[in-house]
Amino acid sequence: MQGKIALEEHFAIEETLMDSAGFVPDSYWAELKHRLLDIHDTRLKLMDKHGLEMMLLSLNAPAVQAIPDIAKANEIAMRANDFLAEQVARNPGRFQALAALPMQDPDLASRELHRCVNELGFKGSLVNGFSQVTQAESAVYYDLPQYWSFWAEVEKLDAPFYLHPRNPLPSMSQIYEGHAWLMGPTWAFGQETAVHALRLMGSGLFDKHPGINIILGHMGEGLPYSMWRIDNRNGWVKAPPKYPAKRKIADYFRENFYLTTSGNFRTQTLIDAVLEIGADRILFSTDWPFENIDHASDWFDVASISENDRVKIGRTNAAKLFKLDL
């Protein structure tokens, strides 16, 4: 398929580059480093070769979210966003931007989102999970009351928010001790992000701000497969839910969330996601440079879905959600 739009596509600046060093063996680091720092050469050639018209670019992980010092987190976010704006300006027909945000401080995050959307022309934001605030071993999640003013700004700006994974902190990773292979994309990324998303759904946030759109990668971090059970466990017990939200979790999942195909190139999983959330809420992505553009495109272009859904997922859903001028 020609004209695909991809939106979980990462880059790095020098200050955040080493955050990605541990995700591949040392022998692959030179290649990953090149991929992260390159925007207008190898990346663009691969886009041309595999039918990608546009990438929405975002900072690598955990980057800003792993900087406990609030002022430093804000500084790095602004520096990354200014750099990204310069890169997009060189070729806006092929690249657009998602903002990095200093979520350590909701007011600073709101201010930076407003700057990026209204002054730099960004299409939304991508945040790498929880933030470490003041102390390295803190993990602050965005369902907490202090973030609701930020979410009001997200709704007001109509700026989609991509909730991207990061690993749990070492002090919160006892279940993985002795099993380091489960960290990262294999399992821990998805589990961490799914719980964060469920916290947002159960908090009542979307009752107050129903216009918020949140994006999850990797075909929904396992949530589509579990959505029925989340709402129907012990169905014979007639008791109200224990969360503050007014509706079933699946209602918020289907009305306030979008999913991407990033790093999860399997047709059975795609079909399950379509059945659960609908083809109108699924978006093509590759997860470059951590996954290959050809792997994503070669799979998606022949996946056993209707051509109408292929065009929606590959292009038109993203164009509509991000208001892209194509």
Contact 258, 213 (CB under 8 A): yes
Among residues 19, 105, 143, 287, the one annotated as catalytic is 287
Cα angle 10, 279, 313 (rounded to 5 degrees) comes to 40
The total of other beta-carbon atoms located within 10 Å of residue 209's CB is 16
- What is the Cα–Cα distance from 290 to 164, expressed in whole angstroms? 13
The distance in angstroms from the start CA to the end CA of the chain is 16
Query: Is 287 one of the catalytic residues?
Result: yes
Contacts of 48 (CB under 8 A, 6+ apart): none
Q: How far apart are CA 246 and CA 278, in angstroms?
A: 22
163 near 218, Cβ under 8 Å? no
Give catalytic residue positions.
287
